[in-house]
Amino acid sequence: MLQNEGLRQVHDMLVPHDDQSTQPSEFVPHLFYSLYQIRKDPSNSNQLETSTGFIKHRLKNCKSLIATNEDCRNLLSKSVEEWQQDIRNKEKELEVKRKMLDDLGKRLQVFKERK
């Protein structure tokens, strides 16, 4: 789905795949389940650290990938809405340029006819 290689890697790291057998669980359900286990057994407070280690690990990997990948950084620097606005702005710019070229073409035509 994602065309950008870097973003695709980030997505794969954060979002579980369809084949559940291999993939560890979704972050938020995992978090409340881990909290529930601490709630049940307060003596073992290191549990959260261990049980959520994989979340930390994957976030770390993501971070370093984004840090080294220029494309990723650039693409993630704007929100979806900001990108939409950006696209609209670029389209407007293009429109203006096209009009300018049109005008120039027409003026050239006029000069040609005068000659």
Partner 1 sequence: MTMASDSYALQLDEMIQLFQEYKSGSVTLDNITKLCQTLGLESFIDDIDAETSRLSTASKIIVIDIDFSKSIGRVKDVKLVLASNFDNFNYFNEPVVQANNDSNSNEGSNILLNSLTQYPDLHQFHHNLKFLYLLDTFSSINIDANNNGGPNNDGGGGEFSGELDLFKYFTELAQFLRQYFADQGAPLKVVTNLNNRFGIYIMTQLDRVLLAKITFEKSRDSQQRLYEYVYYEGNKEWINESPESFTSGVSMVMEISDKTNPTWFPKDYVPKELVLDEGDSNDKINDVSPNEFMNSLSMNASRGKFQVMNDFTTQLVPLRKFDISNDNSELIIEILRWIQWSRTVLYPIYKTLNAPEDEATKGDAGKEGTVTANGPQGRHGSVAAEHRKRRHSSKNKRSSMTEATMLKEEGLQQFNLQELMTDQDTDLNQGSEKASTGLLGVDKMQVDDQAIDDSDTTCQLVFSEDRVSLENVAQCTLYDDMAKWDSFIEAFKTYSI
**Residue partners of 52: CB distance under 8 A and separation at least 6:** 30, 31, 34
Does 36 sit near partner 1 (CB under 8 A)?
Answer: yes
Phi-psi region of 42 (alpha: psi -120 to 50; beta: other; left: phi over 0): alpha
Query: Which of 1, 3, 22, 42 touches partner 1 (CB under 8 A)?
Result: 42
Does 44 sit near partner 1 (CB under 8 A)?
Answer: no
Query: Which of 22, 29, 43, 114 touches partner 1 (CB under 8 A)?
Result: 29
**CA dist., res. 2 & res. 8, Å (int):** 5
Return residues touching partner 1 (CB under 8 A).
Answer: 18, 20, 25-26, 28-33, 35-36, 38-39, 42
